[in-house]
Amino acid sequence: MQNKKYLIIIAVLAALLMGAIGVIVGMTMQQKMNTTSTDTGQVESETGDEAADGVWVDETDVIPPESNEQKAGQDQTVTDGSIGNTQNDTNVNNQNSNTEGTAMNGKTPVEAYGALQVKGNRLTDENGNQVQLKGISTHGLSWYPQYVNEDFFRQMRDEWNVEVVRLAMYTAEYNGYCVGDEGNKQNLKNVISEGVNHATNLGMYVIIDWHILSDSNPLQNKEEAKKFFAEMAERYQGYDNVIYEICNEPNSGAGWSDIKTYANEVIPVIRENDKDAIILVGTPNWSQFVNEAAADPITGYDNLMYVLHFYADTHRDDLRNTLQNAYNQGLPIFVSEFGICDASGNGAINVEEANKWIDLMDQNGISYCIWNLSNKDESSAFFKVDCNKSSGFTSEDLSEEALWYLDVLKD
């Protein structure tokens, strides 16, 4: 009887112990399930954001990507016509210390070089040492705004050694600045604001490009250009990293006298607020005839440079000789756009001629930006046509031109 009593007590204690273990296990499993659910939700959220950013934007429905800064200042942006939010830009302007992962001894390009200057035919840092910037141009901001995001700018800086990004804003093409409605005009200014903010956050240089093309003569939209650059210069006068490109590719008979007349009206508008920023001036014949600028340069202003563009399979020894001769005459030159295919932006890649150009520019310390950040079905596009990402690119996403250029930037 006594033994039976002990057996009952032991059985009761065992049951209580098993119940307690079951509660503990249940709580542990529930906690793990909650954690897994949270992690999965985060992954889904990030994937969703990337998919939203990476979808190709149809030219008939261009909507610029929105940063948190833009969302915060959206109402002000729409109602007062300004670019973004002044308070946010002020904060951004003081955030040049985001240096993790950079390849310049822990410094961003802007921390390394400071406010740029032009000395003779050279681009220099704030101490007068020659600087050669290497970077990438966007395609038209109306059509491919999705690549203007901070994650991708950081990847370009940290993984690709990109120091400058050119923001190409078409003026007369579909939804260009001078042909779209006021909403489109504001959208373009918003994308520029976002691009400048990202570059500034990351200590990179940024070019604001008035991308004339089908409006062959810059005088055609001179008054719009003056208003635009007055607004840009007032906004970014305190920024050491902003460069102004006032006419991309004058062409079809627009001579140096026309360009010089235009420049002599636009440059003072910029200098009224931004006294020292680098200003890039296009040259005749799709920015090839730098020899004409060398023979009759613009006077009365500091920190001016002149633009040369080339496409390696079309432009060879003759244009390289033109560049070298103009540079030897003392003309400061910036190659703000080039490709390694033919001048259409498409066709065969010519690595042999491209390497000759890189050698020439590197020997002279001439800065350059390659064309273009898009997944357009053309040889000069950086991304494969089926790549819909907006950041986090791998080698499998990149075009032949892009893979070649990343090797250039490693040197």
Positions marked catalytic: 249, 337
Tell me the three state secondary structure of residue 91. helix
283, 288, 290, 296 alpha-carbon torsion, rounded to 10°: -50
| Integer CA distances (angstroms), 19 to 9, 11, 12, 25, 374, in order | 16, 12, 11, 10, 62
| Residue 16 phi, psi dihedral angles, 5° rounding | -65, -40
Tell me the three state secondary structure of residue 210. strand
Helix axis angle, 256-271 relative to 222-236, nearest 10°?
Answer: 30
69-77 — which CB contacts under 8 Å span 24+ positions? 69/194, 69/197, 70/190, 70/193, 70/194, 77/186, 77/190
Length of the chain, in residues: 411
Give the Cα separation of 205 and 30 in Å (integer).
Answer: 50
Half-sphere exposure of 156 (CA within 13 A, CB side): 33
256, 261, 263, 268 alpha-carbon torsion, rounded to 10°: 160
Element (H, E) at 311: strand 304-311
